[in-house]
């Protein structure tokens, strides 16, 4: 009796597996589970068994009945699925699905990444206003009254004293007016200059400004800090080069190059065969800037730096036209 139950299970399962239409399965259901079916006849036979075997066989028959039933149901489900009657399994090559997600703008991602590096070095993130006065944009930054950058060709004016800041260095002044050294800040933000728009110019762009003031800050510390930043941002193999330059608000001043991220310094189209790419302006805070915010330049020294976010993003992501950042073409944004 026990053996015939096992044989029945095998033949039933293979028959179910081979069935290809719901109709076949219905036939099997009647054959095995119907009122006149195989299981029913086994249950009838139980009466002929010795009383002590009856409960065990009965129990087994009932379990088998359930198993066949669920096997048929499952097979039926797979036949009834939209994949068609012939398919045996799901097609795993169909695309996966998930809820729609957007993307952060690449400029936001670059700003976050830059700030994260400096946050880890003990800098704080601060912001300042975009509508500024001549005092914060020029006077306090040691830019003489007659300096060309004050011309209406280089700065957007709202009236005789108010303007749209042309650099985030304004935030240095605002912070040092309120707080005394030691200080370490980075200030990301939007700046404006009346440039005609083309592939490499925009009348609006973003900068991140940095400032570190203490009694013993050295030019060599500036080199250390920005070398680390370049490696963090552009990759561990990046080398950094400091060249003398001129900015009214720093002295000594430097322009900072990184080894070309495409050719690693060998010379290519991106670096115009120079092997180096300029990415930053930096220097030691000019004593006149300290005087403007009533910090004693004989007691404190500091370094400051500024970088163009669009430029960093263009280098990092291989973007060759600055306008792409402001067109907001979804085919562009989707790639970030």
Q: Does 198 bind other proteins (CB under 8 A)?
A: no
Separation between Cα atoms, residue 295 and residue 304, nearest integer Å: 15
Q: Does 99 bind other proteins (CB under 8 A)?
A: yes
Residues between 163 and 192 that touch other proteins (CB under 8 A): 164, 182, 184-185, 190, 192
CA 293 to chain centre: 38
Which of 110, 312, 301 lies closest to 211 in space, CA to CA? 301
Return the range that interacts with other proteins (CB under 8 A); candidates 14-22, 29-37, 71-79, 144-152. Answer: 144-152
Taking the complex as a whole, the smallest distance from the CB of residue 3 to other proteins amounts, in Å, to: 47
Nearer to other proteins, 22 or 182 (CB): 182
Among 79, 217, 280, 304, binds other proteins (CB under 8 A): 217
Taking the complex as a whole, the smallest distance from the CB of residue 212 to other proteins amounts, in Å, to: 6
**DSSP 8-state assignment for residue 95:** P
Q: Please report the DSSP string for 264-327 in residue order.
A: TTS--TTTTTSSEEEEEEEEEEPHHHHHHTT--TTT-EEEEEEEEHHHHHHHHHT---TTHHHH
Q: Does 292 bind other proteins (CB under 8 A)?
A: no
Q: Does 95 bind other proteins (CB under 8 A)?
A: yes
Q: Does 2 bind other proteins (CB under 8 A)?
A: no
Residues between 271 and 290 that touch other proteins (CB under 8 A): 284, 286-287
Return the range that interacts with other proteins (CB under 8 A); candidates 21-29, 229-237, 242-250, 260-268. Answer: 242-250
Q: How many other CB atoms are found less than 10 A from the CB of residue 133?
A: 16
Q: Does 333 bind other proteins (CB under 8 A)?
A: yes
Helix, strand, or coil (residue 111):
helix
For residue 167, with 0-12 CB atoms within 10 Å meaning exposed, 13-18 middle and 19 or more buried, which class applies? buried
């Amino acid at each position: 009796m026990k053996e015939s139950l096992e044989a029945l299970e095998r033949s039933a399962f293979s028959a179910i597996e081979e069935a290809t239409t719901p109709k076949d399965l219905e036939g099997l259901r009647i054959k095995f589970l119907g009122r006149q079916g195989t299981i029913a006849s086994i249950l009838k036979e139980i009466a002929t068994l010795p009383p002590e075997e009856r409960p065990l066989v009965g129990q087994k028959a009932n379990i088998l009945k359930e198993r066949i039933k669920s096997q048929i149901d499952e097979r039926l489900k797979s036949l009834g699925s939209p994949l068609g009657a012939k398919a045996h399994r799901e097609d795993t090559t169909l695309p996966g699905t998930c809820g729609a997600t957007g993307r952060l703008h690449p400029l936001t991602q670059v700003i976050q990444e830059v700030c994260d590096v400096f946050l880890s070095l003990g800098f704080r993130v601060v912001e300042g206003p975009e509508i500024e006065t001549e005092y914060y944009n020029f006077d306090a930054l040691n830019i003489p009254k007659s300096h060309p950058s004050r011309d209406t060709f280089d700065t957007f004016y709202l009236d005789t004293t108010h303007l749209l800041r042309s650099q985030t260095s304004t935030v240095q002044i605002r912070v040092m007016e309120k707080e005394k050294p030691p200080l370490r800040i980075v200030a990301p933000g939007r700046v404006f200059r009346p440039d005609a728009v083309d592939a490499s110019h925009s009348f609006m762009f973003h900068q991140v400004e940095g400032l570190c003031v203490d009694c013993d800050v050295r030019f060599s510390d500036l080199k250390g800090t920005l070398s680390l930043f370049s490696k963090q941002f552009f990759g561990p193999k990046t080398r950094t080069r400091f060249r003398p330059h001129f900015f009214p608000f720093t002295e000594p001043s430097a322009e900072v190059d990184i080894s070309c991220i495409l050719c690693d310094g060998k010379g290519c189209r991106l670096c115009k065969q120079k092997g180096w790419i300029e990415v930053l302006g930096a220097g030691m805070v000019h004593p006149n800037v300290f005087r403007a915010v009533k910090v004693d330049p004989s007691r404190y020294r500091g370094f400051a730096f500024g970088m163009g976010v669009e430029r960093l993003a263009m280098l990092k992501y291989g973007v060759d036209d600055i306008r792409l950042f402001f067109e907001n073409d979804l085919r562009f944004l989707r790639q970030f």
